[in-house]
């Protein structure tokens, strides 16, 4: 990955909190619990998912940087949604997402070329590189912001 592509992905990653808060702007209680489809998450559930995912991804990156060939363990996001009370208020999860992402963005902006080449093994997908990590998480919040907007549009 060249420096230009990396820089754009870091910028997109850093922008994730903004796109989520924009997608939530003016949200009503009905919209907060709306679903695009019966098997889709509501905006409330998406925010809790983002917090859990962001905290997990922050640790994954730190392990990739600090450990030699770490094993990154996958997790069942659907089980998290069922078990971790995703019906609760979103404010603490939104802040957890915000600050886990901000502290990680600070690392991304300081990393050396050698650090960008680091990798481990993911329990579900095999080789798991720092660059691959960035490609996944740069778009993650943006995709969920779109999902929030689509769910909100279901409320008439």
Q: Is the pTM of this model over 0.75?
A: yes
Q: Would you kindly state where each structural domain of the chain is located, as residue ranges?
A: 3-153
Nearest alpha carbon to residue 134 among 97, 102, 99, 105: 105
Do 65 and 107 contact (CB within 8 A), yes or no?
yes
Gyration radius of the chain over CA positions? 16
Residues forming beta bridges with residue 128, ordered by sequence position: 120
Q: Which residues of 136-145 are buried (b: 16+ CB within 10 A; e: fewer)?
A: bbbebbbebb
pLDDT single digits (tens) 92-104: 999 999 999 999 9
- pLDDT tens string, the chain, 156 residues long: the values are 899 999 999 999 999 999 999 999 999 999 999 999 989 999 999 999 999 999 999 999 999 999 999 999 999 999 999 999 999 999 999 999 999 999 999 999 999 999 999 999 999 999 999 999 999 999 999 999 999 999 999 997
Residue 128 gets which letter from DSSP? E
pLDDT single digits (tens) 20-46: 999 999 999 999 999 999 899 999 999
What are the angstrom distances between the C-alpha of 67 and each of 47, 97, 119, 121?
Answer: 30, 24, 9, 12
- Per CATH, the homologous superfamily of domain 3-153 is dinb family like domain (1.20.120.450)
Dig out the tokens for 55 from the structure: 């905290």
Residues 134, 21, 154, 34: what is their CA dihedral angle, to the nearest 10 degrees? 90
Strand, helix or coil for residue 122 = strand
Do 131 and 46 contact (CB within 8 A), yes or no?
no
């Amino acid at each position: 990955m060249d420096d230009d592509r990396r820089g754009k992905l870091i910028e997109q990653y850093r922008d994730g909190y903004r796109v989520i808060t924009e997608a939530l702007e003016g949200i009503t209680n009905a919209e907060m619990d709306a679903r695009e489809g019966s098997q889709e998450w509501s905006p409330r559930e998406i925010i809790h998912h983002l917090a859990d995912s962001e905290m997990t991804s922050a640790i994954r990156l730190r392990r990739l940087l600090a450990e030699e060939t770490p094993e990154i363990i996958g997790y069942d996001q659907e089980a998290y949604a069922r078990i971790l009370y995703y019906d609760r208020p979103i404010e603490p999860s939104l802040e957890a997402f915000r600050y886990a992402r901000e502290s990680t963005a600070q690392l991304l902006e300081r990393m050396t070329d050698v650090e960008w080449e680091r990798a481990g093994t993911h329990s579900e997908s095999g080789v798991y590189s720092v660059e691959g990590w960035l490609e996944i998480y740069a778009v993650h919040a943006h995709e969920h912001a779109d999902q929030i907007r689509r769910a909100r549009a279901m409320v008439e």
